[in-house]
Structure 1
Amino acid sequence: MAKRASVYDLKGLNCPLPVLKAKKRLAAMQPGSQLWLETTDPLAVIDIPAFCADAGHHLVETAAVTGGHRFLVERGA
């Protein structure tokens, strides 16, 4: 049974803080585990996918929500 992804609230933070904090949090997680990132920074729709591609993480899902975006990231190896 898959473990439910935890939620990391990055709302109110502006570039580059959401990516820097997500990087630190994901580094402490096991490969294959998932994390929801919740952001309000409009640049996150560019920054988070680019960060995932550069760092070898898998961007599972992106969703626009009221006031921001949610990203489901699976930690890479």
Structure 2
Amino acid sequence: MSSEYDIAETLDVKGASCPMPVVKTKGAIDDLAEGEVLEVLATDPGSMSDIDGWASGTGGVELVDQSEGDDVYKHYVRKTE
């Protein structure tokens, strides 16, 4: 899947539970340049709705895609400003 996006950085938050995946995602996205995509790898099923809700309610980021497989939830977040 990563071939679909120009991934600037991968953030591994496997084993972390709410709210840490969102907190760490916010910190990592702040370090990216506009247009870059952050790949987030999580094991918390709640991260699917948490990261979606955070991206929807936060200016400057866009949730590009999410997927689930092998007990790992992948999130792709683009910095838009």
**TM-score normalised by the chain length of structure 2:** 0.85
* Gap regions ≥5 residues in structure 1: none
Check if 1:52 corresponds to 2:32.
no
* Gap regions ≥5 residues in structure 2: none
Check if 1:24 corresponds to 2:24.
no
Question: Using the alignment, how far apart are the partners of 1:74 and 1:49 within structure 2?
Answer: 12
Identity %: 28
Q: Work out the number of aligned pairs and report it.
A: 76
- 1:67 aligned to which of 71, 75, 78: 71
- The Cα RMSD (Å) is 1.5
Q: What does residue 16 of structure 2 align with?
A: 13
Question: Using the alignment, how far apart are the partners of 1:22 and 1:48 within structure 2?
Answer: 8
> What's the offset of the Cα at 1:68?
2.4
Question: Using the alignment, how far apart are the partners of 1:7 and 1:27 within structure 2?
Answer: 14
> What's the offset of the Cα at 1:3?
4.5
Question: Using the alignment, how far apart are the partners of 1:66 and 1:42 within structure 2?
Answer: 12
**TM-score normalised by the chain length of structure 1:** 0.89
Which secondary structure state, in structure 1, belongs to the residue aligned with residue 25 of structure 2? helix
